[in-house]
Structure 1
Amino acid sequence: MVDSLHSQAFTLGRQQETPFYIFSQDRLSSALQRFRQFTSSLPFPTETYYSYKTNYLPALCDQIAEARVGSEITSPAEWAAARRRHAPDRIVVNGIGKCADGLLQSIVDEVASAPRLVNLETDTEIGIVARRDQEAQPLPIGLRVTIPSVSGELGRDPSEHWKRGVTKFGWSCDGDAILAAARTLAGNRAVRLEALHVHFGSQLVSAARYDVVLSKLCNLLRRLSSAGVTVNTLDLGGGLASGWVTKRRTGPLFDLVKVLGLPTPRSQQKAPDLVGITTVVHKHAARLSSLGVTRLIFEPGRYLAEPAMVAVAKVIAVRRDGTRRHAVVDLGTNGLHCWRSNETRPIAFDLAGKGGAEMMKLVGPLCHRSDSFGTVTTPGRLQAGDLVCFDAVGAYSLGDWVANAWPRPPVFSEDGHLLWAPPSHGLPANSPSGGR
């Protein structure tokens, strides 16, 4: 069955210069609905704040704001974008970047208003907020917690976690430093310590991981209570997988297990176990309540944005040299920086010619070893001029433009309406949100 968005993408691909993105309002609405069904099943009132760093396309951020979802930001630029859509009390502030350009200081200096929550993770940040005017509106504060024994579900074996060592973000939940930080803030009437914030990985899928994290947080809450500090909110961050991307288990330990012919853990992960995660939260609800927790916060980014965009590219060259078969497209992995070698994402083709299916390595034009989308099976024989649709690229693609500073492709709506174009592209942005 051909996806209707792919058909629309190919129709537009025959009318517009490639490469470009397409943003789907319907897919975003569907993801929002699924996430709300999940949060409504939890045993605590739950607030949702969209992570701007995932994708700051104005049309996408506008739609999320209109759906009464707040903003989670990590930088001065994101703060400015969020303030165009929300009052401060609908914004959660995270990340080390909040010290850049004096953002945190300006928040502290604004005595008449405050964000919904400012999650701190360094002693330097505590020093800044401690200078808030004692007569100002109290600044709601969270402390970022790191769980040393829990790493992200990245589809890699444990050796990848061992190599990375201890995370640089936040205070260890098992240490004494976080108790000292909590005591310092609890004694300042200009701030209100009300949350613990934990971001414990990317592409999260398993309920077991939430079980470990909540158990650790309960222990920390007990230690804080013994120190005379109570918080009422748990911010469980983002990282939840969208369900559109399959990750393969990789790493030297898994390779060794395969060579030895031993049984391996489940080799792929994709859809998050929302029912299981809900069950885990219910399991810990009574203990969390007894320790003072009355509210949860989530900061979904990938879950909402990833399925909301596709990219359209054109085949510009094909090589069939014995067993070496390569198709080069006019969009590289610099444009789809979200693409990882251990991931499988939906790919569709619009072919002009005939012929049987073939295995083909799909690569970009950058002449770099990382510029590869992987080996795919095409529905027919590829040739120059054919179109390729890369699906589920809405997260960390438009914004995370890191390698090779090529002009960013424009973004269209499903009906071909231009939503955004880079200044160098030369296209008129004929949308109220275009060019912002």
Structure 2
Amino acid sequence: MNLPTMDTLPSTHFDGVDLLALAGRHGTPLYAYSASAIRQRIAGLQLALHGMDATICYAVKANGSRAILELMAQAGLGADIVSAGELQRALRAGIPPERIVFSGVGKNDDEIGEALAAGIQRFNVESLDELHAIERIAGERGATARAAVRINPDVDALTHAKISTGKSENKFGVSIAEARRWFDARATLRHVRLDGLHVHIGSQILSLEPYRLALQRVAAFWRELRDAGHPVASIDVGGGLGVRYRDGDVTIAPADYVAVIREALAGFDGRLLLEPGRYLVAEAGVLLTRVLRIKHGEARDFLVLDAAMNDLARPSLYDAWHDIVPVSGEARPQAIYDVVGPVCETGDTFAQARALPACAAGDLVMIRGTGAYGASMASTYNSRPLAAEVLLDHGRHALIRRRQTLDEMLAGEQSASQWETT
């Protein structure tokens, strides 16, 4: 079924829900996510993978809301996690441990032990030291861990430098030469079954060529291992599929992406793992915010919103573009604004010299494409409470995170009244 998108719906509605009424009820800033759009993305990727032994492991870091994770669980997805906190989020949302993979360069001993106790599918191992740690901890528990080595293929993902992960200077993964040594020493591992490969080259990728090159290098290594008698039960091809943030962004169709995987890994009879995050949720989310005032400066006009960089960090961190539109069904003349928030940082800027329909204080504004790395990266900087979040579904909505109160923000803080010496 083709669901209406933000471009075809009236600008006052999203997934059949009146956004003006929604903001009036729950206040702003407010994150709103379309369950329908998320299900559509999942279904499209599953359709492209039809007939393949493949598991989609949603990258929890993109949006770890319990309600979002429950949608993933209901669709049969697994989870790609990078912390013990994300492990617990996934488990509590109903994602089975056998569909969970643990990535990340800095797993500590407690996290490794917790993942072993939960019975996750496998660890994506990023260094020899980590491999030895998993061997030690699994041995102490009388367990056997399944592991994949994360290959750094030295491929430029052609994306922002801060979200590129597959080049030799990045902190992620190991070279094929080092991975070869790990497999040659497999017999010395008594508590780790090293039988998988993993590659992830970055995020917001809009070209198939980096995928093709990275998977060709991984496939050549898999065939080398196979010929040397080393079993490879799974290949994790990572994630990184880009989304449309602005006009002109040409995204990769799921069928084309999967075709590259099929071609590169032709003949592989093990399980494939995929780790999409942003692709499944980014365009399904909007951040609703109100105009506090229009500030007329000497050189420019500032549209001051009640949302800030603590609510949505991507523009400040990555100079990221997000479409910004007033939630109004009326035609308005154009105006040029720097769109900013109230945080005391010049970096608290969502857009510069942006042409928008003219706004006034009190207007509701929508920042699009914020379903990924929005609320999940939010902070309480400037002592600003975390925003509320709602899930929309064909004309109905549910509050999935209430707005943080000041007392909740301050919980855990206390006066220095209990002094100790060590």
Tell me if both proteins adopt one fold, taking TM over 0.5 as the criterion. Answer: yes
In the aligned structure 2, how far is the partner of 1:19 from the partner of 1:401?
Answer: 12
2:283: which partner in 1? 307
Question: Is structure 2 residue 382 aligned with structure 1 residue 408?
Answer: no
Q: 1:417 to 1:339 in 2, by over 3 A?
A: same
Calculate the aligned-residue CA RMSD, in Å. 3.0
Q: Distance in 1 between the 2:65 and 2:106 partners?
A: 20
Hey, what's the Cα distance between the residues in 2 that align with 1:270 and 1:156? 19
- Please give the secondary structure, in 1, of the residue aligned with 2:210: helix
Equivalent in the alignment of 1:69: 77
* Contact in 2 for aligned 1:114/1:137 (Cα 8 Å): no
Partner of 1:251: none
Out of 328, 334, 339, which is 2:315 matched to?
Answer: 339
1:54 to 55, 62, 71: 62
8 Å contact 1:327–1:360 — kept in the other structure? yes
Residue in 1 aligned with 2:152?
146
- Mapped partners of 2:256, 2:276: distance in 1: 18
Q: TM-score, normalised by structure 2?
A: 0.82
**Counterpart in 1 of 2:99?**
90
One-letter code of the match for 2:263? K
- In structure 1, C-alpha distance between the alignment counterparts of 2:286 and 2:107, rounded to whole Å: 31
Structure 2 CA distance for aligned equivalents of residues 135 and 354 of structure 1: 66
Shift of 1:355: 5.1
Contact 2:87-2:115 within 8 A present in 1 as well: no
3-state SS, counterpart of residue 180 of structure 2: helix
Structure 1 residues without counterparts, runs of 5 or longer = 248-267, 428-436
Is contact 2:385–2:404 with CA below 8 Å preserved after alignment? no
Letter in 2 for 1:384: A
CA distance in 2, matches of 1:236, 1:408: 34
Deviation at 1:344, TM superposition (A): 3.3
Q: CA 1:214/1:416 → structure 2, altered by over 3 Å: closer, same or farther?
A: closer
For residues 186 and 305 of structure 1, do their structure 2 counterparts lie closer, same or farther at Cα, with a shift above 3 Å needed?
Answer: farther
Q: Could you say which residue in structure 2 is the equivalent of 1:431?
A: none
Note if 1:399 corresponds to 2:408.
Answer: no
- Of the candidates 25, 35, 50, which is equivalent to residue 25 of structure 1? 35
Aligned-residue offset at 1:295:
2.3
Asked whether the 8 Å contact 2:26–2:388 carries over to 1, the reply is no
The amino acid of 1:168's aligned partner reads K
Deviation at 1:33, TM superposition (A): 1.3
Q: Distance in 1 between matches of 2:40 and 2:337?
A: 33
Q: Which residue of 2 aligns with 1:39?
A: 49
Secondary structure (helix, strand or coil) at the match of 1:399 reads helix
User: Taking structure 1 as the reference length, what is the TM-score of the superposition?
Assistant: 0.80
Instruction: Indicate the SS of the match to 1:339.
Output: helix
Q: Output one character per residue of 1:285-322: Cα deviation in whole Å (capped at 9) or x when no partner.
A: 43xx2xx5522110111011212221111101102346
| Per-residue Cα deviation, 1:210-267 (whole angstroms, up to 9, x for no partner) | 11011111232244345542313210112111x33149xxxxxxxxxxxxxxxxxxxx
CA distance, structure 1, for counterparts of residue 35 and residue 241 of structure 2: 20
Q: What whole-Å deviation, never above 9, does each CA across 1:359-383 have from its counterpart, x for those lacking one?
A: 222111113222111133223x311
Shift of 1:55: 0.8
Q: Match for residue 244 of structure 1?
A: 244
For residues 201 and 352 of structure 1, the distance between their equivalents in structure 2, rounded to whole angstroms, comes to: 38
